[in-house]
Amino acid sequence: MKPAAFDYFAPKNIEEALALLGEHGYDAKPLAGGQSLVPTMNFRLAQPTVLVDLNGIDELFFIRESGDGLRIGAMTRQRAVERSPLVQRRAPLIHETMPHIAHPQIRNRGTFGGSLAHADPASELPALAVTLDARLRVQSSRGERWVAARDFYLDLFATDMQPDELLVEIAIPDLPARTGWAFDEVARRHGDYAMAGAAATVTLAEDGTIAAARLVYLSVGDFPTQAVQAEALLTGEQPTAALIRAAAETAAAQDIDPGSDIHASADYRRHLAKVLAGRVLARAVERAKMTADDRR
Amino acid sequence: MRAVGSSIQRSDAVDKVTGRAAYAGDIDLPGQAWLAIVYAPSPHAHITRIDTAAALAAAGVLAVLTAADVPVNEYGLILPDQPVLCGPGSTVQAETVRWEADHLALVVAETAEQAQAAAKLVQVEYTALPVITDPLAALAPDATVIHPHPFSAFPYGQRDNTSNLLLEYHLRRSDVDEGFAQADVIVESTYRTHAQEHAYLQPEAGLAFVREDGRIEVIAAGQWMHEDRAQIAHTLGLPAERIVVRYPAIGGAFGGREDLSVQIVLALAAWKTGRPVKIVWSREESIRGHHKRHPFVIHAKWGATKAGKIIAAQMDVTSDAGAYAYTSTKVLGNATLMCLGPYEIPNVHVDARTVYTNNCPSGAFRGFGAPQGHFAAEGQMNKLAEALGMDPVELRMRNVIHDGSILATRSAVPAGCTAEEVLAEAARRGGWKKNGIGYWVLGSETDAAPLRNTQYPISIARGVGIALCFKNVGFSLGFPEACHAWVELHGTSAIERALVGCVGAEVGQGAHSAFAQIAAEALGLDVAQVEVVAHDTDVTGSSGSASASRMTFMAGNAILGAAQQALAQWQDEERPARADFVFHPRPTSGYDRKTGESDPNITYGYCAQVADVEVDMATGHVKVKRLISVNDVGRAVNPAQVEGQIEGAVAQSVGWTLLENFIQKDGRTLTPHLSNYLIPGVADVVEEIVPVILEVPDPQGPLGIRGMAEMPFIPTAPAIAAAIHNALGVWYNELPLTPEKVWRGLSANPFPQE
C-alpha cells in the first residue's frame, strides 16, 4: 500500500524543524530513518498530514566524547554507531548490541535517536538507554530539557515528549570501574524482533560483592522493563551462580508481566526472561571481574 | 559438449536478473481498466442482499459485477464446488460464502485506486452461519453442512450432501489384527501437520482483454495453460477455443498456482466491459486468497518383529480440505499410500478422508500429501527402531521396497526403484557404516551421547536423524496422463535451427531450459540452436501441469518422440521437417473404493536426507547445522538446476518444519503478512546443505530422467524430528517445531541432568 497524502518539509537546521513542529503540532511527525514510520504510514496505521524530514540537518549527526562519556546526535545512523571505535571503547554494551538490531540494510538507514523516540517495546536501544542511565536532550521552540531514559518511556509507543518537541542528543555516561555488561535476545528468525531480550550491567565492589546491578528487558511489556526486585536481590551479595539463578527467577516471576501473541505465549516469554537474565548477568559478572583484574 | 548433463546458463537468466522479464504485474495494455474484489463479510454466511448502487455511482467506476453476471457460476480444478461470485442471483450454492476470501462482487474502474475505493461502498446484508474450523468436528452428525447442495459434477460417484465428508479412501491388505498379534513391538502415535503458505516472490496478478478476433485472452501466471483455459471457458459458458491463456514470466508456483485465482474474474470483467482489465493482488490478498498445504491429523499404529520386519500398519488419516475441494481429493489419494512410507508391509489397514471446513482451502503444494504422510511413516520407523534397539538405517534396510515389491495396493513397485540406493548413500555420508556382521550402525564420531555444553545456563544438545521417502512422478490413480509437443527443423543440407513447441509452464524451475537441452541432445544440436515456443494455448495441445514432479519427465518424452519423427521427415527431405507427438505414459488405475486395490502410479522418485541439529535446551531453539539430501534423478539434465531444486526444496521444508506457522482463528487468517508469517531468510535455513545427485536411469524416463522437484522436500521434517529426538530424547509429533513447542516438550520430559 501507499501512504495517505501528506505535506513534506525538509528543514536545514534544528531551529527550522522546531518551528515546523511548533506550527503543526499533533498533525506533524519528524522523519528520521523512516524504518518504522514509513511502513506504518504505508499500512495507514499512521496518517500524519505533515512530515518534517530531519535528514538534511547536519548538526544532528555526530558521535563525540564528553567529560563523562559519549554524546550521540539523534540522527546518527545505527550503522555508524555500530562501527564507531569511540562507541566500542566507551559504550561497549551498545557496540555489542548493535548487530542484533534487524539487518544491516535497516541499520544503514535507521537512526539512534529515531529508535529511542519511536519507543517500540520490542526495540533494543530504549532498553539500552535505560540500562546505561542515558539522558536525552529534548528541544522545542519553547526551550530545551534533559530527561533521564528511565523517565522517558511512559507507555506503548509513548514517551515524555510533547508533539512540538524533538529529541536532538543522547548522553551516555561512562560505565563505573569494575563494571561488566552483556546483551542477549531470542528471536524466531535472524534479524527479527525478539520474543524477549535483556541487557545487564554489574558493578563489583572492592571486596567482590555486587555494588550495583541493572537488568532491563525488551519485548516483555509496554516499554523497557527494569527488573528492580532482581536488582535489589543482587546488590550487596557475592555474585555466585546460585545468586544469579535466584535473581533470574525473581526477575521472571516478579518484575515482568509479559503478554501473549502469535509468536510466543506469556509463559514462554517469562521462561525466556529467566534464561536471558541468567545469561546476561553471568556474562556481565565475568566481564566485571575481568575489568577489575585488568585494573589491578 | 553434451547438451544433457551440462550446467549451462538457463535461457531466462539474464532477463530475470536484469529485470527485463515481464511478470503479469509489469504488463500494461492501452486503455486498461482496473479490477478490485469485494470479499466475504464473514467466513460462513448466507448472503441475502448486495447493494451496488453507491459503488456504481462512484468516480471512475465502469461496472460492478455480481453473481447474476456470471454465466456458469461454478468452477474447480477437480470438481466445480466454488462459485466465481457469491450472493443472490445465480445458484443456491452461490448464495453462501464459506471462506473469508470468497468473492462477492467485482468493481471495474479507470484506476486501481478508484476501483478499491468503490469496492468499499458495496453494501452487503447477510445471516451469519456457524464457522467450522476443525475437520474432526466437521464430521460430527449435528455439524452444519458447508456444501448441502449437489454439484453439477462429482467424479467420485455419489456424494453425501448431508455430511462435510468430501471423500474417503480405504486400503486393506491381509489382516492387520493378525499382523499385530505376531508383532514383538507396537508403537502408536498421533501426528499433526500444519498449513503452509507458498510465499512465492510474485503475488497473483493478471490482465484480460477481448482480442480483435473476438477471443478473450487472459495473461496470468499458472501451472497448466489448457486447464486454466477450460475452467475460464466453463464459467463464461463459452467453448474453450474462445479463450486464449498466455503465461508471462512466472515468479514461482510450488502448486500454489495450480488452482485459479484472478483468471476467471479478469476474463469476466474484460468480456462484460469490453475494456482490457488488470489486477495485482497485494501480498495480503495473496496470503488470504489462495490455498495452502493441507493440515493432516494421522493416527498411526505399527508393529514389527524382533527380526526387524514391519508386520502391520494401521493408519487413520484426516485432512482439512478447507472451504472448497481444490485438489484435496488428489492429495488424499497420495497421502493414503504415502503414509505407509517406501516399505513392504504385509498387513495394512488405512482409512483416509478429507473434510470440508470454513478454513482457507487446502490444495497443491510441493509434495502433495507425501510430506504429511511421510512425517507419520518415518516417525513410526524411528520409534520402532528405538523400541527394537535397532539402528534406524538397519530397520529401514530390512523393509525398504525394491523393484517388484508389492505395495498395499496389491500392485508391484515399477522397475527402477532405488530407495535402497539413496538410503545407503545418505547413511554413508551421514556417518553410518556397516559393522563386522553387515548391519548398519552410526559411526563412532557421531554416535556418542549428545554433546552438551553445560556452561551455565547455556546448554546445546546435538543430534542426527535420517529419513527416506518415495513420491509419484506424474498424475496418479487412473488420471489420463499425456503431454503434447512438436519439433520443427529448419536448414538446407544440415539442421540449422530447431523450434520446440511445448507449453509446459516455466514457473522458475528451469523447465524451458531443460526442454531445449533434451531437444538439443536428441537432435545432435547445440542448445543455442534450439528455441522453445511456449507462450500460449494456441502453440500446441495440453502439456499437463508443471506439478507432480512430472514436467521434465513428460515433456522430455514428448519432445524425444517429436524429435525422432521430425528427424525421420528430415531424412525424407521435408523442409522444414515438422512432427507433432503426444506422449502417453503407461496407464494407472484408481483405488478400489473398499480395498484400495489399484496400480496407483506411473513411477516414483526417491530421496533420503540426514539432518544434524543443535538444540538450545534452555530456549528450545533448533538450528540445522547440516542437511545432506541424496536424490536419484535418473539423469541430471542440468546439474546446477538440480542442485538449485534441492536447495530450494530444503529451504522450503526447513521453513515448514521449524518456522512457518499459518494461523487461522474462526476462519480468519491471523498471519496475512510476511512480517507475521515467517519464512526463512538465508541465515535461518541450514548452515550447510549438501546436495547429492545419483543417476540411476528410470526405464520409463526420457534418457533415463526421473522427476525430482518435490522429493527433497519430503524427508526433511521427519529427519529433523529424528535428530531432535537423538539430541533430547523427546519425540515431537506435531509441526511446526517452534522453540516454544520444543521447550514445552523438554519441560514435560526433562533431559537427564549430569
DSSP code string of A210-224 = EEEEEEEEESSSSS-
For residues B210 and B337, state if they share a domain.
Answer: no
Cβ neighbours of A278 in B, within 8 Å: 456-457
Q: What is the mean pLDDT of chain B?
A: 96
Q: How far is CA B324 from the centre of its chain?
A: 16
CATH fold of the domain at A179-295? Enolase-like; domain 1 (3.30.390)
- pLDDT for the residue numbered B752: 40
CA distance B226 to B207: 17
Band (B452; pLDDT cuts 50, 70, 90):
very low
For residues B422 and B298, state if they share a domain.
Answer: yes
For residues B233 and B365, state if they share a domain.
Answer: no
Cβ neighbours of B680 in A, within 8 Å: 189
Is B705 part of any domain? yes
CB B430 within 8 A of CB B610: yes
Domain boundary among B289, B307, B337: B289
Q: Which of B606, B617, B174 is nearest to B424 (CA)?
A: B606
CB A264 within 8 A of CB A272: yes
- pLDDT for the residue numbered B543: 97
Instruction: State how far residue A40 is from chain B, nearest Cα, in angstroms.
Output: 13
Domain boundary among B244, B266, B289: B289
Domain boundary among B267, B289, B311: B289
For residues B121 and B232, state if they share a domain.
Answer: yes
Band (B751; pLDDT cuts 50, 70, 90):
very low
Which of A262, A272, A282 has its CB closest to that of B671?
A262
Are B678 and A282 in contact (CB < 8 Å)?
A: no
User: Domain with B37 in it: what CATH number?
Assistant: 3.30.365.10
Instruction: State how far residue B453 is from chain A, nearest Cα, in angstroms.
Output: 14
Band (B1; pLDDT cuts 50, 70, 90):
low
> Phi first, then psi: what are they for A149, rounded to 5°?
-55, -40
Cβ neighbours of B456 in A, within 8 Å: 241, 244-245, 278, 282
For residues B255 and B374, state if they share a domain.
Answer: no
Residue B343 C-alpha cell reads as 516399505
Residue B211 burial by Cβ neighbours in a 10 Å radius (0-12, 13-18, 19+) = exposed
Instruction: State how far residue B616 is from chain A, nearest Cα, in angstroms.
Output: 11
CB B348 within 8 A of CB B174: yes
Are A275 and B659 in contact (CB < 8 Å)?
A: no
Write the pLDDT tens digit of every residue in B366-400. 999 999 999 999 999 999 999 999 999 999 999 99
CA distance B530 to B513: 10
Nearest CA in chain A to B737: A188
Q: How far apart are the first and last CA of chain A?
A: 60
- pLDDT for the residue numbered B747: 81
Task: Report chain B residues touching chain A, CB-CB < 8 A.
Answer: 282, 456-458, 618-619, 621, 659, 661, 663, 670-671, 676, 678, 680-681, 683-684, 738-740, 743-744
- pLDDT for the residue numbered B447: 46
Are B678 and A192 in contact (CB < 8 Å)?
A: yes
- pLDDT for the residue numbered B458: 61
Is B4 part of any domain? no
Choose between B455 and B9: higher pLDDT: B9
Write the pLDDT tens digit of every residue in B302-361. 999 999 999 999 999 999 999 999 999 999 999 999 999 999 999 999 999 999 999 999
H or E element: which one contains B190? strand B185-193
Write the pLDDT tens digit of every residue in B139-166. 999 999 999 999 999 999 999 999 999 9
Is B635 part of any domain? yes
For residues B314 and B274, state if they share a domain.
Answer: no
CB A264 within 8 A of CB B740: yes
For residues B272 and B324, state if they share a domain.
Answer: no
Judge if the upstream peptide bond of residue B130 is cis by omega within 30 degrees of 0: no
Is the pLDDT at A163 greater than 50, yes or no?
yes
For residues B109 and B89, state if they share a domain.
Answer: yes
So what's the ipTM on this one?
Answer: 0.92
Judge if the upstream peptide bond of residue B736 is cis by omega within 30 degrees of 0: yes
CA distance B340 to B314: 9
Cβ neighbours of B619 in A, within 8 Å: 186, 272, 275
CB A92 within 8 A of CB A180: no
Write the pLDDT tens digit of every residue in B681-725. 999 999 999 999 999 999 999 999 999 999 999 999 999 999 999
Distances (CA, A) of A128 to A119, A287, B402: 12, 17, 62
Are B456 and A186 in contact (CB < 8 Å)?
A: no
Cβ-Cβ contacts under 8 Å for B531 (sequence gap 6 or more): B497, B498, B499, B500, B516
Which of A186, A263, A278 has its CB closest to that of B457?
A278
CA distance B342 to B443: 25
Residue B216 C-alpha cell reads as 478473450
Are B670 and A262 in contact (CB < 8 Å)?
A: yes
Judge if the upstream peptide bond of residue B295 is cis by omega within 30 degrees of 0: no
Nearest CA in chain B to A1: B282
Choose between B471 and B452: higher pLDDT: B471
pTM for the predicted model, two decimal places:
0.96
Which of A188, A192, A282 has its CB closest to that of B456?
A282
For residues B609 and B635, state if they share a domain.
Answer: yes
- Gyration radius (Cα) of chain B, Å: 26
Domain A7-53 class in CATH? alpha beta
Instruction: State how far residue A28 is from chain B, nearest Cα, in angstroms.
Output: 25
- pLDDT for the residue numbered B453: 41
Nearest CA in chain B to A268: B740
- Domain hosting residue B232, numbered range: 25-130+198-289
For chain A, give every domain's residue range.
7-53, 59-173, 179-295
- pLDDT for the residue numbered B410: 97
Band (B448; pLDDT cuts 50, 70, 90):
very low
Q: Which residues, numbered 204 to 263 in chain A, qualify as contacts with chain B under a Cβ-Cβ cut-off of 8 Å?
A: 241, 244-245, 248, 262-263
Is the pLDDT at B57 greater than 70, yes or no?
yes
Is B7 part of any domain? no
Write the pLDDT tens digit of every residue in A196-254. 999 999 999 999 999 999 999 999 999 999 999 999 999 999 999 999 999 999 999 99
Total domain count, chain B: 2
A2 Cβ under 8 Å from any chain B Cβ: no
Instruction: State how far residue A101 is from chain B, nearest Cα, in angstroms.
Output: 15
Query: How many A/B residue pairs have CB atoms within 8 Å?
Result: 49
- pLDDT for the residue numbered A190: 87
Candidates B616, B740, B743, B744, partner chain A, best to mutate (most A CBs within 10 A): B740
In A174-220, DSSP assigns E strands to: 179-187, 194-204, 210-218
A268 Cβ under 8 Å from any chain B Cβ: yes
Is the pLDDT at B749 greater than 90, yes or no?
no
Candidates B684, B737, B746, B747, partner chain A, best to mutate (most A CBs within 10 A): B684
Are A264 and B670 in contact (CB < 8 Å)?
A: no
Cβ neighbours of A248 in B, within 8 Å: 457
- Gyration radius (Cα) of chain A, Å: 19
Is B3 part of any domain? no
Candidates A40, A45, A103, A188, partner chain B, best to mutate (most B CBs within 10 A): A188
Is the pLDDT at B454 greater than 80, yes or no?
no
For residues B318 and B382, state if they share a domain.
Answer: yes
Which of B618, B663, B681 has its CB closest to that of A275?
B618
Q: Which of B214, B190, B180 is nearest to B349 (CA)?
A: B180
CB A193 within 8 A of CB A219: yes
Instruction: Count other C-beta atoms under 10 Å from residue A294's C-beta.
Output: 8
Under CATH, which architecture does the A59-173 domain have? 2-Layer Sandwich (3.30)
Is the pLDDT at B520 greater than 60, yes or no?
yes
Is B348 part of any domain? yes
Instruction: State how far residue A264 is from chain B, nearest Cα, in angstroms.
Output: 7
Cβ neighbours of A188 in B, within 8 Å: 659, 678, 738-739
Give mean pLDDT, residues B419-447. 88
Is B514 part of any domain? no
CA distance B420 to B381: 15
For residues B235 and B91, state if they share a domain.
Answer: yes
Q: How far is CA A162 from the centre of its chain?
A: 19
Is B534 part of any domain? no
